[in-house]
Structure 1
Amino acid sequence: MKNMRWDDLQLFGAVARTGSLSAAGREHGLSPATVGRRMLALETEMGRPLFVRRQSGYSLTEDGRALRARVSVMEAGARPIDEWRSAEGGRSLVRISTGTGTANFLAANFARLWQPDDPFRIAFKTTEAKLDIAHREVEIGIRNARPESQSLAGRRTVTIAQAPFRARNQAQSGRADWVAITPEDATTRSARWVNARPDIVIAAWANTVRTLHELIRAGVGIGVLPCFVGDRDPLLERAGEAIAELSGEQWIVMHNDDRHRPDVRRVIDRLVALSLAHAALFAGERPFGTG
């Protein structure tokens, strides 16, 4: 019993009230299959049958009626919290996990993701580390690979190109120094690619993409950035062609249950639309000054 969750009991209350997995799922933004699995798990945890399952719907057993009475008491106790939450605006929170470069792009296009009359707010969790979507650290993650966990779903959006960049006003000399992510912090293919090159000289290292970007801007050396980051910066210019072997896919990843939430689904749809509208930029086909 120690692992029983309040949201499972709320879901039980919805099934008990409506007699339908579909109706309860609509209330909670879940698929009927997910509701059915969670009710089976709840019965297993209780060690008692809670429902009589018929083609016409779900009705309660004697134990189910006893649990419903207790859940009703809990719901009544939680009502003041709901009222307090409504007084605070009643807006849900959709958390997006992404790296610094993508966060900067999304911030610049925030009006495409959120409107003042939306019934939710957006919180950016900007980190190069991957927060755990499966355990609900965030609702949405923008990733460079298809999700592998069965509890996660993903939508592929655009191709991401990478290229070497330098400061636009950087003096050209015989030797071209580079800047790179430190080997111990090199979690991306582009960071590992630079560190593996025996033919370049590293002038300075950074432990974040944001600092790497600033070092390139300052003229310290050449560095590899996603094209949608470097090509949008008027202080930078390409120092070479896009690196074909570093091209990859962008994925929007979410929990299988959370993707049915109306607020999460709306943000996902807007993220997809925003990405596709800038597909050429992401693919490296719009260097700065080319329109």
Structure 2
Amino acid sequence: MKNLNWDDVRIFLRVAQSGGLSAASASTGLSPATIGRRVTALEQCVGRVLFERSQTGYRLTADGRTLMDKALAMDATMQPITDWSRTSGQKPGVRISAGTWTAELLAAEFAALWTPGDAFHVCFKTTEARLDIAHREAEIALRSQSPDGGNLAVRKIADVAFAPYRAASPAADATPGWVAIGRDEALTASAHWLLDQERVEIVAWANTPHTLRALIRAGAGQGVMPCFAGDRDPQLVRAGPVIGDLAQVQYMVTHADDRHRPEVRTLIRRITALAEANAALFRGERPQ
């Protein structure tokens, strides 16, 4: 038998106590379809049928009643820990995974995402790599590719444009070349695009987006950035038109179960509103 998932056992208890998926959905915030899948997964794990299913609801089998007795005892044992957690003063955290430029925009607009009265806090996980939302490495991910498969919920939040940028006030001896993310660190489409260009003189390399921007600001050369980052920076101006080949869609990805948590649902709504309010900036329609 595989290791039991305690969350699945707790969902089983809610179904057993309420007599059906819809009632359990109201008490857990999960969809009936999700609850049904979790109950089936638990039955497969223990190798026993726990419910007799009918149009009138879910009725416990003999094995189901045995598990319910054991689960209630375990739930009672866990209750002191739950009570301690609730009174410890720690608010639940919502982890947001995003690339450097997107994380910076969210940080700059933090007041639109969180208020002192919110019963949660926000944890940024800034990385160009894609975290595994299916295995809950973060609650919310903002990424440029829609994931394939998994128990995930995906929504489009923005169209993103890219352009070349240079220093707004370059030094007299500023070079006309380019600065780029190094080949070993090039994880994004924009970094690979520049590396694939012929007859481009790269005069400096960076291993992070922050260093890339610092080099551009210093006049080391021009570099490629998303317009929502470059156009917000008063030290930069566009060095050319929007690069059509780099047009992207920004997606918000959440675990299909986690998205029903009140704090996650709140942040999903606020991030979506923030993206809608800045749609023109994302599309590159607000150049300096």
TM-score by length of 2: 0.95
SS at match of 1:180: strand
**Other-structure match for 1:75:** 75
C-alpha deviations, 1:195-240, integer Å up to 9, x for none? Answer: 1122221111111112111111122111000011111111111111
User: 1:29–1:258: 8 Å Cα contact kept in structure 2?
Assistant: no
Name the residue aligned to 1:114.
Answer: 114
Quick check: 1:162–1:227 contact (8 Å CA) kept in 2? yes
CA contact (8 A) 1:181 1:212 kept: yes
| CA spacing shift, 1:245–1:233, aligned 2, 3 Å | same
Distance 1:235 1:174, change over 3 A: closer
**Helix, strand or coil at the partner of 1:163:** strand
Q: 2:63 is matched with which residue?
A: 63
1:218, 1:14 → 2: CA distance?
60
Q: CA deviation at 1:173?
A: 6.4
Q: Cα RMSD (Å) of the superposition?
A: 1.6
167-176 vs 134-143, greater mean Cα deviation: 167-176
Structure 1, residues 49-86: CA drift from partner, whole Å, max 9, x if none? 21122222212122211111111111111111111111
Off by >4 Å, runs of 4+ in structure 1? 172-175
> Which residue of the partner structure matches residue 240 of structure 2?
240
Aligned to 1:227: 227
Match of 2:193 in 1: 193
Aligned to 2:95: 95
Deviations along 1:235-269, one digit per CA (max 9) or x if unpaired, are 11111111111111111111122222222122111
Looking at structure 1, the residues matched to 280 and 241 of structure 2 have their Cα atoms a distance apart, in angstroms, of 15
Letter in 2 for 1:77: T
Count the aligned residue pairs. Answer: 288
Match of 1:266 in 2: 266
Cα contact 1:216–1:223 (8 A) shared by 2: yes
Please report how far the alpha carbon of residue 118 of structure 1 lies from its aligned counterpart in structure 2 after TM superposition: 1.7
The CA deviation at 1:285 is 0.8
What secondary structure does 2:105 align onto? helix
SS at match of 1:138: coil
Matched, 1:167 2:162: no
Q: Per-residue deviation at 1:28?
A: 2.5
Aligned AA (1:6): W
- 1:175-199 deviation digits (Å, cap 9, x = unpaired): 5111001112212111111111222
- 1:179 and 2:167 equivalent? no
Alignment correspondent of 2:5: 5
For 1:263, give the aligned amino acid. E
TM-score, length-normalised on structure 1?
Answer: 0.94
| 1:85 corresponding residue in structure 2 | 85
Identity %: 53
TM-fit CA distance, 1:100: 1.0
